[in-house]
Structure 1
């Protein structure tokens, strides 16, 4: 009986895990004095055969962490909170200035160049994944 249960668990267990994303080029802007918000950028690659939907984020350095985008509205650039961001199977999504980014709101302390922070991405299947972000001088964030 124990062997049958073990075999059943081995067959079912892979279904319980999310198709994880590969994250690279992670950087987080150091906040300037007087500012308690900042943004994080990355390259998100889905190397699997399944689409992945990112539905949220959280961080150890901020009170609130949200998925955001910048979109042109006529001649104005507007920042918008996104409920989710899809990363299709075999595709990548770049989080960069003037596009998608992770917004960190209500920083708990000043974060400085050379430090690291953790951001957790949350997926629509209830799983999550932690990533380390290097804090960099905001003047060195590439477009």
Structure 2
């Protein structure tokens, strides 16, 4: 009795092709996430982190229950004057870490509902969109660090008026 392997081979080939047709899920990692503590009645604070995407993607949104409004801002210097402006998206080139830090791009938590206290955690929901327009959300628990915390080289605000 002879058994034909043709149907099995065709089935395996179809499964293999189907696997190639499925979109690869973009994977973005978040490291070194933290939020700067606030003082009572302070209305805003910053959140910082390093994002690394496996495919070309962009950060298109951030949300948190601790604030009425959450935006990604870019710090700029025009002579001796520091300014901030909202950015709609942060490009995340494949495999390249992108730092959101006190000295450049960062997340602003505005209209704080309560004081953000050192030693607690702030939940952040990041929305990442890949090059094909597929969105994914990442849940991050960012530890709150002291008001004096800085990332990388210390940025001194003393020279600003």
Q: Does residue 131 of structure 1 match 2:140?
A: yes
- Which ranges in structure 2 are unaligned for 5 or more consecutive residues? 1-10, 155-161
TM-score (norm 2): 0.75
1:62–1:89 CA distance, 2 compared to 1 (3 A): same
The residue aligned with 1:15 is 23
The residue aligned with 1:92 is 97
| Secondary structure of 2:39's aligned partner | coil
1:128–1:13 CA distance, 2 compared to 1 (3 A): farther
Instruction: Look at both structures and tell me which one has the larger radius of gyration over its CA atoms.
Output: 2
Does structure 2 conserve the Cα–Cα contact (< 8 Å) formed by 1:53 and 1:84?
yes
Aligned length: 134
| Secondary structure of 2:23's aligned partner | helix
- Which ranges in structure 1 are unaligned for 5 or more consecutive residues? none
Q: Does residue 60 of structure 1 match 2:65?
A: yes
Does structure 2 conserve the Cα–Cα contact (< 8 Å) formed by 1:72 and 1:78?
yes
Q: Does residue 33 of structure 1 match 2:40?
A: yes
- Residue 126 of structure 1: CA displacement? 2.6
Q: Distance in 2 between matches of 1:91 and 1:80?
A: 24
Does structure 2 conserve the Cα–Cα contact (< 8 Å) formed by 1:57 and 1:67?
yes
TM-score (norm 1): 0.83
| Secondary structure of 2:148's aligned partner | helix
Q: Distance in 1 between matches of 2:45 and 2:21?
A: 38
- Residue 75 of structure 1: CA displacement? 2.7
Q: Distance in 2 between matches of 1:103 and 1:65?
A: 6
The residue aligned with 1:111 is 116
Q: Distance in 1 between matches of 2:148 and 2:120?
A: 16
Residue from 118, 122, 127 that aligns with 1:122: 127
Q: How large is the RMSD of aligned CA atoms in angstroms?
A: 2.1
Does structure 1 conserve the Cα–Cα contact (< 8 Å) formed by 2:62 and 2:126?
yes
Q: Which runs of 4+ in 1 moved over 3 A?
A: 10-14
Does structure 1 conserve the Cα–Cα contact (< 8 Å) formed by 2:126 and 2:138?
yes
